[in-house]
Structure 1
Amino acid sequence: MKTIILSTLMLFLCTGLLAQKKTEYQLTPAFPVTVDGDLSEWRNKLTPVDADSSWSFAVSQDADFFYIAIQVKDKMLQQDAARHGFIVNINTEGKKKEGAQLFYPIPDSESIRALSRDDNLAHMNIREELIKRSRGYGLKGFAHIVDGLLSFENTYDVKAFAKLNEQDQLLYEAMIPIKAIGFKRNQEKFALQLAINNRFAQLQKAMRKAPPQRVGIYGMQPQTSLKNPYKVKTEVWMQGQLNKN
């Protein structure tokens, strides 16, 4: 009897773990969005990434734009987002690979150095100060926008805002024009990644791209593994089809 109970319990746990791994996120149906960093219109539409709601998100899309909303409660993740930015990555082939990417906030390095030498640093809200030191949006991989820093005031209708609210939560909102991404005719599938950029993710990416190191004639040197300091995942993916209405 005990064996049957234990077996049933193990099956339940394994099923639960598999269900967690197969989490599939969906687009929120299109609705009126004003991209201003105020997520009031997204209320009851945000999906928590973990049980503690360390951060939550929602993505909507109409005929012209992708709209993204993110709310971060965890202070460590807030610090990472303010220092290294949020990443919105849209792949036009529906694959979990790099595509058109928006990076924001991206604090200016000179301003960060000046901040570190400021006599009032101990009395500042570092997260707010880092966000203020962004000079534009970082873009990469767009078909119709040159890679690099894009001004806040631009003719492409790219917008993103990040701010701390009264509850000390970090709020992020963005809109990305579909025509600038580079979907080909009759191309409807997409894969969209939202990530809180951080040093661990950057090091992982660098290690994946680094060529293996040889050790004499005896083969390849094993790559050093990195310990993930986060208890919650710092990126999510969704796959779907464009809403053309």
Structure 2
Amino acid sequence: MRLYLISIVTFFITSAAFAQKVQKVTLETLDGVDIDGNLDEWPALVDVGGEGLWSYQLVKSGDDIHLAVRVSDPLLQQMAARNGIVFSVVSQKKSKGDAQLIFPFPDGEVKRAMRNEDVDPNRDNKEALIERSRGYYVQGFLHVPNGLLSLQNNYGVQVKAKVLADGLTYEARIPKRALEENEKPLVLKIGINDGFSFLPVAKNRPMPARSNYGYGYARPAATKSKNKQTLVVLLETTIH
């Protein structure tokens, strides 16, 4: 029964995602981005769906691309801290799954340990989930090993998230060389992981078939039915 309910939930989530329209965008250049979770140096972020719940921006700088996200809604903050914010590249090859970078990534061991600990009522568990993420979950990027990537690594991937007065903030740096060089234009995904839509692939299982949904860059997300929060935006762009 539980598996059946999860399947139903996943169906509705992915059905909503399929309704998203891919937006063609041009990435602007922004130099001097410091991956520290503070978004002071960023231009205005894009309000996803005009809902005032979360916003994002994507730029390029030198050999990297940078992503900024601010989650204002308390429920979505909790979702992001527990399941992660996702940057993904949709694969154009049916035999290959999408590339994904997920952070925060408090894995099952961390979550179990936190459940067994005495909870401090004065401590925000979103901060604890972020602080106890032991790495970034990565799969499908060029020159970067799949799995849990150390916070301090030699592959050029760097992400920082923190909880501030105006919401949960996130900054990421991804090297251009890690993207599919022969797939232009690229379809990029940015979203808040609901715990179902972006599941890590088991080590001994093949990568899933290509997904047709994703995220986008500095434009409002596609419209959707009322009472449904927009968790994913899709962008089509060429990275030079």
TM-score, length-normalised on structure 1? 0.71
Q: Determine which structure has the larger helix proportion and give its number.
A: 1
- Give the total of aligned pairs: 196
Matched with 2:189 is 193
Q: For residue 59 of structure 1, what is the amino acid of its counterpart? A: L
Q: Structure 1 127/182 Cα, relative in aligned 2: closer, same or farther at 3 Å?
A: same
1:232 aligns with 2:192: no
RMSD: 2.8
In structure 1, runs of 5+ residues without a counterpart are 1-19, 204-208, 210-227
Once the 2 structures are TM-superposed, how far is the Cα of residue 112 of structure 1 from its aligned partner? 1.7
Q: Deviations over 1:71-94 (max 9, x none)?
A: 000111111110010110023659
Aligned pairs for 1:100-139 within 5 A = 100-139=99-138
Q: Are the structure 2 counterparts of residues 35 and 48 from structure 1 closer, same or farther at C-alpha, using a change threshold of 3 Å?
A: same
TM value normalised by structure 2: 0.73
After superposition, what is the alpha-carbon deviation per residue over 1:53-102, rounded to whole angstroms, capped at 9, x for unaligned? 1000010124411110000001111111100101100236599x953211
Residues 75, 175 of structure 1: alpha-carbon distance in 2 compared, 3 angstrom cutoff: same
Q: Which residue of 2 aligns with 1:4?
A: none
The gaps in structure 2 that reach 5 residues or longer are: 1-18, 200-207, 209-224
> Post-superposition shift, 1:151?
0.6
Could you tell me how far 1:143 is from its partner in structure 2?
Answer: 2.2
Question: 1:99-137 deviations in whole A, cap 9, x for unaligned?
Answer: 321111100322222211222343321111111110011
> 1:42 is matched with which residue?
42
Question: Would the aligned equivalents of 2:27 and 2:237 in 1 still touch at CA under 8 Å?
Answer: no
Match in the other structure for 1:78 = 77
Q: Deviations over 1:128-171 (max 9, x none)?
A: 1111110011110112112101111111110001101123x000
1:223 — aligned with what? none
CA offset at residue 202 of structure 1?
5.5
Question: Which structure is higher in RCO with an 8 Å CA cutoff and minimum separation 6?
Answer: 2
Q: What residue identity is the alignment partner of 2:197? A: A
Residue by residue, what CA displacement relative to the aligned partner does 1:169-228 show, whole Å, maximum 9, x if unpaired? 0001101011122313xx53111000100135359xxxxx8xxxxxxxxxxxxxxxxxx9
Calculate percent identity across the aligned residue pairs.
35
